[in-house]
Structures are given as C-alpha cells and as structure tokens.
C-alpha cells in the first residue's frame, strides 16, 4: 500500500558538516509531515514539521523542504554535532483520515564522525 | 512538566501469559496511540483512540487489546494470542490532526 519510505538507511558525516536526510512519500492526500529523532532506547522526539501549503520551514539548525511535485521531503541539519547521531524518521498525516495515526518511514541512521 | 509516561520500561512475558503495558498522559490530548517497533524498522500502528470509551484497530491489532476508560490512560494488553510479542512498544498522543504526536519512552517486552 501507500507508504512513506527513505532513500538511505545509514548516513555517515563528519562533525561540522551539513547533513541531508531524504524521504519519499506516495500518498497525494497527505497534508502534514513531521521529522522525528530517535535515540537508542527512547521514544521518537519531535524535530520539525511542515504543512502541505509550505515548501520550506526552518528551525534551530534544521530545515525541512517539501517538494509536492515529486512527493519528496528532506531534513537538513546544519553543522552536525555528535549529539545528532540517532535514527531519523519522517512521518506523514493523511488529510482524509482525521485523527488516525501518522504513517512512518523505516528510518535513516545518522552517524556523526568526530 | 507535561508528557507521556510509559511503564514498566522492561517487561518479561511467560508463555500463555497476558501482560499489560501502561500509558499515562497529562497533556490533555484526546487522541492516543500504540505502536510496535521491531529492530531496525519503523513504527507500526496497533490501536488508537480518538476519544474516551472509543478505540479502533490499527494495522497489526491481532493478539492485542486496549481500553480507554479515562482520557489520561490508554493501557495495552499483549495477549497469549500474540505469538511474537518481543518488541519495543511506544505510546503516543496528540491534540489535533495537523499537530505532532508526542511519544513516551517505550516499554521493551521480551519472552522468558
């Protein structure tokens, strides 16, 4: 069925570099997207979100880009730090399902090399 | 501080035994969710509840049961019918469709 997926299972970057994590989605009815960070043994932590009427949203050191034409979502982390090492998930909310749960991708592991 | 509390952090189940995982939230959210996470995988929806005394099956509800008697609480029972219960279980809540879900820190369930 329709689902959220990720291009790269593991991304390794040097400390101080910028990181880009990508996500493809296939559900054209999705109207809201979220990026989560999950550290080992913990629950996912909200990073940033974006609604479908936007193309870009910035937070502290993070930027989310949404390309609805190709159904692509990306998370950019500036000046990556060792504390950014974790698994990152994108999630989508289908606009036609009310409060039903988000659909999650399988995750990308970000490894920051010192 | 507002948040979601899951307990216990670790749980062991014997063959043929039912076990119940606790989830409590003080965020005043109407909707609550249970997910299962297997190693190296994403989250799969077990059950969700949009309001007190109402809940719906998710994608992998077989072998699980829930109740929603209070707004703050959404316990999950893993029954003996669930043949492969070993996983990391996550509870979440949210206030509206275009708001993020907030997660607890999970319960890791293993088989003895």
Handedness of CA A1, A53, A98, B75 (dihedral sign): positive
Partner-chain residue, chosen from B58, B100, B105, that has the shortest CB–CB distance to A43: B105
Mean pLDDT score, B28-49: 92
Cβ-in-10-Å burial (0-12, 13-18, 19+) of A24 comes to: middle
**Which residues partner with B35 through β-bridges?**
B45, B90
Burial A43-78, CB ≥16 within 10 A → b, else e = bbeebbbbebeeeeeeeeebbbbbeeeebebbbbbe
The confidence score (pLDDT) of residue A6 equals: 42
The confidence score (pLDDT) of residue B1 equals: 59
The confidence score (pLDDT) of residue B112 equals: 82
Give CA–CA dist B63/B48, Å, rounded.
15
Tell the residue number behind the tokens 């749960």, with chain if given: A101
* Tokens coding B89: 């279980």
pLDDT tens string for chain A (114 positions)? 334 544 448 999 999 999 999 999 878 889 999 999 999 999 999 999 999 999 999 999 999 999 999 999 999 999 999 999 999 999 999 877 777 778 898 899 999 998
Average pLDDT, chain B: 94
Give CA–CA dist A98/A54, Å, rounded.
20
Question: Secondary structure of chain B in the HEC alphabet?
Answer: CCCEEEECCEEEECCCCCEEEEEEECCCCCEEEEEEECCCCCEEEEEEEEECCEEEECCCCCCEEECCCECCECCEEECCCCCCCCEEEEEEEECCCCCCCEECCCEEEEEC
For B40-61, the pLDDT digits (tens) are 788 999 999 999 999 999 999 9
Q: Give chain B positions within 8 Å (CB) of A102.
A: 101
Q: Give chain A positions within 8 Å (CB) of B43.
A: 44, 89, 104
Tell how far CA A29 is from the center of its chain.
Answer: 18
The confidence score (pLDDT) of residue A81 equals: 97
Partner-chain residue, chosen from A36, A93, A106, that has the shortest CB–CB distance to B97: A93
* Residue % of chain B over a pLDDT of 90: 81
Mean pLDDT score, B6-19: 92
Task: Order across the sheet with A4-5: list the strands.
Answer: A4-5, A19-25, A72-77, A62-67, A56-58
Decide if B101 and A102 are in contact by the 8 Å CB cutoff: yes
Q: What are phi and psi of A84, to 5 degrees?
A: -85, -10
The confidence score (pLDDT) of residue A5 equals: 46
Q: Please indicate whether residue B101 or residue A95 has the higher confidence score (pLDDT).
A: B101
């Amino acid at each position: 069925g329709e689902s959220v997926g990720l291009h790269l299972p593991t991304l390794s970057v040097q400390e101080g570099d910028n990181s880009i994590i990508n996500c493809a989605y296939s559900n054209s009815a999705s109207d809201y997207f979220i990026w989560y960070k999950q550290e080992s043994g913990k629950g996912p932590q909200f990073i940033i979100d974006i609604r479908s009427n936007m193309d870009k949203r910035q937070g502290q050191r993070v930027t989310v880009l949404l390309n609805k034409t190709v159904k692509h979502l990306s998370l950019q982390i500036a000046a990556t730090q060792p504390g950014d090492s974790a698994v990152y998930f994108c999630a989508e909310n289908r606009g036609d399902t009310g409060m039903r749960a988000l659909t999650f991708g399988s995750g990308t592991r970000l490894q920051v090399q010192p | 501080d507002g948040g979601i509390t899951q307990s216990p952090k670790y749980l062991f189940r014997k063959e043929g035994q039912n076990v119940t995982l606790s989830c409590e939230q003080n965020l005043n959210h109407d909707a609550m969710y249970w997910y299962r996470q297997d190693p190296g995988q994403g989250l799969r929806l077990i059950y969700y509840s949009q309001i007190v005394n109402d809940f719906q099956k998710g994608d992998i509800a077989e072998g699980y049961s829930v109740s929603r008697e209070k707004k703050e609480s959404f316990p999950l029972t893993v029954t003996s019918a669930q043949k492969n219960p070993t996983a990391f279980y996550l509870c979440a809540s949210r206030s509206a469709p275009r708001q993020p879900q907030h997660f607890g820190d999970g319960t890791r369930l293993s088989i003895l």
